[in-house]
Amino acid sequence: DHPDTLNSRNNLAGALNSLGEHPQAADLHRQTLTDSERILGPDHPDTLNSRNNLAITLDDLGEYPQAADLHRQNLTDSERILGPDHPDTLTSRNNLAITLDDLGE
């Protein structure tokens, strides 16, 4: 339950996703996000990062509606917590746009 362990799991899930192991990566990202919300809280930047990474993995799996929902939540929270011009907020906005494009919106 240490924050460094959460970061390591998040990194492992990202590596799995990069290797094309999307279902396994999504499972690990879900678990990491749940634990991050419980341990760090929903407003912690690492929790936002975990949610973003899960959304990207879901996008890679073609689960676009669920990915878009997570990206929307992340953008709203990033704007509130980090501010509208923070680099992570801008990344969240871009990631949502990519997923919406995948949805044909």
CATH 1.10.10.10 fits 3-102, yes or no: no
**Residue 16 predicted with pLDDT over 80:** yes
CA–CA gap between residue 32 and residue 83 (Å, rounded): 24
Q: What is the pTM of this model?
A: 0.94
Domain boundaries, the chain: 3-102
- pLDDT tier at 75 (50, 70, 90 boundaries)? very high
Euclidean distance between CA atoms 31 and 61, whole angstroms: 17
- pLDDT of the residue at 91: 97
Please give the DSSP secondary-structure letter assigned to residue 43: T
- 1 pLDDT above the threshold of 90: no
Plot region of 2 (φ>0 → left; ψ -120 to 50 → alpha; else → beta): beta
Question: What size, in residues, is the chain?
Answer: 105
- Structure-block tokens of residue 97: 């746009």
